[in-house]
Homo-oligomer: A and B are copies of this chain.
Amino acid sequence: MSDRKEFRDLAEPHEAHEAIASLDLVPDPETVPLREARGRVLAERIDAEMDVPGFDRASMDGYAVRARDTFGADEADPATLDLIGAVHAGSEPTVTVESGTCAEISTGAVMPDGADAVVMVERTTELAGGGDDGGDAIEIRTSVAPGDHVMFAGADIAAGGRALGPGTAITPREIGLLSALGVDEVPVRGRPTVGIVSTGDELVRPGEDLHSERGQIYDVNSYTIAAGVEEAGGEARLYPHAGDDYDEMERLLVEASEECDLVLSSGSTSASAVDVIYRVIEERGELLLHGVSVKPGKPMLVGRVGDSAYVGLPGYPVSALTIFRTFVAPAVRRAAGEPEPATATATGRMAVEERYSEGRMRLMPAGLVEDAEGATLVYPVDKGSGATTSLVEADGVVVVDPDTEYLAAGEPVEVQLFSPEVRAPTLFAVGEDDPALSRLLDRVERPRYLALGSREGLRRLRDGVPDAAVVAGDPGRDPVAAPDPTGDAAPAPAEVVGEWHREWGLVVPAGNPDDVTGLADLVDRDLRFVNRDSNSGLRTDLSNALADLADERGTARREVTEAVDGFDRAVRAHESPARRVLAGDADAGLGLRATAERLGTGFVSLGTQRVRVYANPARADKPGVQALGEAVADGDDVFASLAGYER
């Protein structure tokens, strides 16, 4: 079905960089008002067109004098000069200072003719009526040299001098210098215009109605890549979504190429849409490169369409953003004249071992966590490229060489941070999905919490990676944590830094139309049930309760669970079963009283379970762990706001 030209091998990453560098994205320079020049880059040298200051300027409040008249003056033997007038800042002197006279002068004022120095007001005394002809006189109690307390014209910047060079990034200080020169229109490098064409019939712009039943999803790449373009100094332009119709795609790509310096296509995970793009580029432009030996990013395209540069990004958001950052953002920055970010890497040790099978360079999304000594640990984040949540769960990428088969725990690695501002979170915790916890985390600065369930929390705590695990229900055995990332030493007991209780049971439709009274109804009656996944602490307690029921009845546990229609229908989050019930897809779901109250459904209580925050013992003193402990201790308002919660 494809007539793709043969690109026998995937290109090497450096070839992709070179192909993109060979494209011209540089826009024409432009002129912006000084007030809007911050963050731009000077397009040309700015020479001073005038002296700054433009006149000999008093740099103290005092009296303008002829220095010679003060020679020899001191506290014991002051000189006395006739006061002939005053010069204020912002006005033209109307007096001339002759020998034996002086003029009052304020800081910033023009030195009057004849004067060559200023005596500070603190070293003078006014003598009313003490002048030769009955006017006022000034007693000068110090001697000054010519030029004292005078800033000469051009002393700061002289006309004709080089003020700023081309390529200078304009920050507040450059704005200050340009202000001093009176430059109010600043010649700056243009921002490359980057068109973004998202492809895929299933995409809907955020804010519009979504029809999940038709398989629609919100378009993640358009706004994400647009923000990345702007971060790199480009100007993003969004084009309407293109399906996989050839004519529509051609029209959009050609339109974008006429209006932009670079066109990016992104968003499609469908082979046919990619085929269509491929054909448009081949027919309306030129394809330089198809596929790069890097994971993610194999489906990357580089070429030209019309007069514009073109790069096709992978469809999955994490892949698209990773490839954008690695290959495209540097080219956008170069075109905008922006420097590479200064501190965009962090070094740390691998928190766990990671193995690689493919012989491709890999851009491994990685998270940062600080160990007890404040040293950085690095762990892989990989939920499958289709997950948008890994966008925010990673702090950067580790570039793993094609020859690397594994990274050992404890091995030093370098993380290319997503931005220079990225820092390890103050708290990294994994565990139960709980609405009280969600609110308590609001009171911790920059926490990272992965709601992967109690069991996964315990598993990761045992590996020693997170700072804490949040566990609902009975953890079975006392949690432990590996003391350091290599995990060689014996795990130590975890510390409890917070605890509360929550009521759980069956969420049923409002009014409980089926008259569900307890677990036995799930086993004995024809009710469609929705369970939680096996990492959930709710599921653990449900299974225990079903086991008790089986014991009561003297039957095998398995018999009981198999009698529940939907016991294996497991969904991921605490509200998910209730939402299935609300949607009419189930008659009962495992959940919390708090959820039932929030969503307005019925609820059949099955018990109360404990939720505990277990700290990695080595990191119990970490400020973020302490902050969560304090949030729990001070969390009465949170527990009071959630039905069925108590400390």
Contacts and interface: CB of A to CB of B under 8 A. Distances in A.
Interface in A430-458: 433, 435, 438-439, 441-442, 445-447, 449, 451
Given A154-B576, A158-B573, A451-B162, A176 B215 contact: no
Copies in the complex: 2
A89 B446 contact: no
A595 B216 CA distance: 69
Interface string A208-228: 101111111111111111111
Contact of A222 (B168, B179, B392): B179
B91 A227 contact: no
A517 to B, nearest CB: 26
Nearest to A383: B156
A231 B391 contact: no
Contact of A212 (B54, B158, B226): B54
A392 B47 CA distance: 14
A224 to B, nearest CB: 4
Contact of A213 (B45, B55, B158): B55
Given A107-B271, A223-B179, A215 B172 contact: no
Given A88-B201, A181-B218, A572 B158 contact: yes
Instruction: Count chain B CB atoms within 10 A of each CB in A214, A394, A422 and give the residue with the most.
Output: A214
B108 A269 contact: yes
A439 to B, nearest CB: 8
Given A90-B202, A152-B571, A573-B160, A391 B270 contact: no
Interface in A254-298: 269-272
Contacts of A204: 182
Interface stretch (A77-85, A413-421, A475-483, A540-548): A413-421
Chain A, interface residues (CB within 8 Å), range: 35 or more
Given A387-B156, A420-B342, A271 B575 contact: no
Contact of A438 (B47, B173, B222, B384): B47
Interface string A134-174: 00000000000000000111111111111011111101111
A227 B154 CA distance: 25
Contact of A110 (B61, B177, B214, B451): B214
Contact of A447 (B51, B165, B435, B572): B165
A54 B215 CA distance: 8
Task: List the 5 closest pairs (A to B, CB-CB), nearest first.
Answer: A158-B573, A160-B575, A184-B207, A54-B212, A90-B201
Interface of A: 34-35, 38, 45, 47, 50-55, 57, 59, 61, 87-92, 106-110, 151-162, 164-169, 171-185, 200-208, 210-228, 230-231, 243, 269-272, 315, 317, 321, 339, 341-343, 383-384, 386-389, 391-392, 394, 418-423, 433, 435, 438-439, 441-442, 445-447, 449, 451, 571-576, 579, 595
